[in-house]
Amino acid sequence: MLTEYSSEKDSISMFQKILKLLGVKKHLTADQILRYPKPMQYGPDQHSIRLEHLDQDALKVVARIQQCGCRAYIVGGSVRDLLLGRKPKDYDIVTDAHPQELRRMFTNSRIIGRRFRLVHVVFKGGKIIEVSTARSLPTNRSSAKNEDDLYLKRDNQFGTFKEDAARRDFTINALIFDVKNQTIVDYAGGFEDIQQRVVRVIGNPEISFPEDPVRMYRAVKFAALLGLSLDPATLKAINKYKPLLLKASSSRLHEEYNKIFRSGQAATIFGALLSTGLMETLMPHIVEGEELATDLSHEEFLETPLGQRLAIADRMIQEHEDVNLNIYYALLIAGALQNIILRNQKDHEKTLERKLKEPLQALQKDLALTKREFETLLQIFATQNLFRREVTERKGWVKEFQARKIFQESFIVYKIVARAYGDEGALQRALFWEIGLRQKLPESIRKSAANNIEIDDKDYSPADIADDNSVPAGVGDDQKRPRGGKPRRRRGRRGGANRGGSSHGNAPQTGAE
């Protein structure tokens, strides 16, 4: 017992020595983390952002908060995107007003979250401007005895604007835009990093990544989507700490994969995940099933069957064709199941389904698929060989198959896989089935085109992710209808109808303040 206790004590002591070498001998202050404790300020003559470039509703929110005696600034990804010449997907605002104060300022608002409360200000058409109170630094670093202790489980305290900048993930996401002076306030060096086109962790990545391993994935995603490079220290830490991704919430990772597919840039992002080793860590069965080499360049990845399938789907999204999440997941794992499907072309659908179930369960673990998604994918792959049957006339089973809910998704997967493998025979058979696709997929599963790329800029801690489901339903969901409240009818050829407060904390040090 004494030996075990001594060993554990020695281990703790060693870890604390490492933290001390890294500068974590006590609870770090924002000044110790930030590159510029006294922030750099860039006026209108030094950057390209103008008020007319900004979302008018976001400006209204900032103005209203300031009129009430509090401070508010546009922050994060929208500032980054505007500096990169991109159109922001959304706008986030940070303020020293507390959620209940914000709720009184905006009648068109709602408070979300249980652990850390955010305010959504809802505008016409359901558009949301998210407003958050400035947050403090995590407090668990000073008491950490090992890497597990660094993992953020609670992170709920309000703080100052400087602390809020210090607690963000990457320098390019920590920029603050002061609307009043049209000045960019930069504590972390993000302005310079955008000029140099680099993704860099705020503070020490040896601390940041164990705190939230998903930041490694986000770093690679940002670099791929924005055409940036990874800072050498950030990349080195990714190589060291990537096994910690296995600790991350499976539901959180699953939602991150959904965002990849909605971006219209899946081939680019998965190529980057493969080259940095994150894909092999997160999806070992897919990498093995596809026989992917982990040292492939982006161009080489696009030449693989997986790269081809994802690139075809991305082009379809860019051309506003119909590709939903089920189809993307099927394309991601198709290579690992293709041999089973081709070896059993004469099997009945239910027989093939039984043979696919076990290997699909292994892939399910890689992607944290829900039960419903698993069942849908099982049906998609079990019906693939139906498209290979020789059909010379419209027999009963053909019409029955075309009427099934799974038909459209299954056919799109079949056709994309055939194109990726250059299977001319399969493509010829696809022409017969093309006749059955008279209707488009439902609007609810259409995804945005690549010029509307979805990039999630929220650096929520793991504990915050569970709060997303606490948003009350029914706010901002009203849809416009023609007068009378009824949908319009389109005439057919013969007249038929085809229905078809006070301030809290320290604000950025700008001249106007």
DSSP string of 370-407, one letter each residue: -HHHHHHHHHHHHTGGGGGS--SS--HHHHHHHHSTTH
Catalytic residue among 92, 155, 231, 457: 92
**Residue whose tokens read 């038909």:** 407
Structure tokens at 70: 């509090």
Tell me if residue 90 is catalytic: yes
Tell me if residue 55 is catalytic: no
Residue 234 CB contacts under 8 Å (≥ 6 apart), including other chains: 199, 200, 201, 205, 219
H/E run at residue 194? helix 190-196
Catalytic residue among 90, 186, 322, 457: 90
Catalytic residue among 81, 96, 169, 457: 169
- Look at residue 185 and give its three-state secondary structure: strand
Phi-psi region of 151 (alpha: psi -120 to 50; beta: other; left: phi over 0): beta
Single-letter amino acid, residue 462: P
Structure tokens at 229: 């490079």
Residue 451 CB contacts under 8 Å (≥ 6 apart), including other chains: 87, 318
Cβ neighbours, 10 Å, residue 472: 9
Nearest to 33 by CA among 166, 134, 169: 166
Residue 176 CA to residue 132 CA, distance in Å, equals 13
Structure tokens at 187: 């504590």
Nearest to 418 by CA among 341, 321, 506, 329: 341
Backbone angles phi, psi at 183, to 5 degrees: -115, 140
Single-letter amino acid, residue 46: Q
Cα 422 to Cα 43, 286, 294, 346: the distances in Å are 54, 21, 24, 22
Are 283 and 257 contacting, i.e. CB atoms less than 8 angstroms apart? no
H/E run at residue 279? helix 278-282
Residue 285 CA to residue 363 CA, distance in Å, equals 6
Nearest to 201 by CA among 397, 143, 212: 212
DSSP string of 228-266, one letter each residue: -EE-HHHHHHHHHHGGGGGGS-HHHHHHHHHHHHHHT-H
Helix/strand/coil percent split, the chain, to 5: 55, 10, 40
Tell me if residue 169 is catalytic: yes
Are 251 and 295 contacting, i.e. CB atoms less than 8 angstroms apart? no
β-bridge mates for residue 129, sequence order: 121
Residues with catalytic function: 90, 92, 169
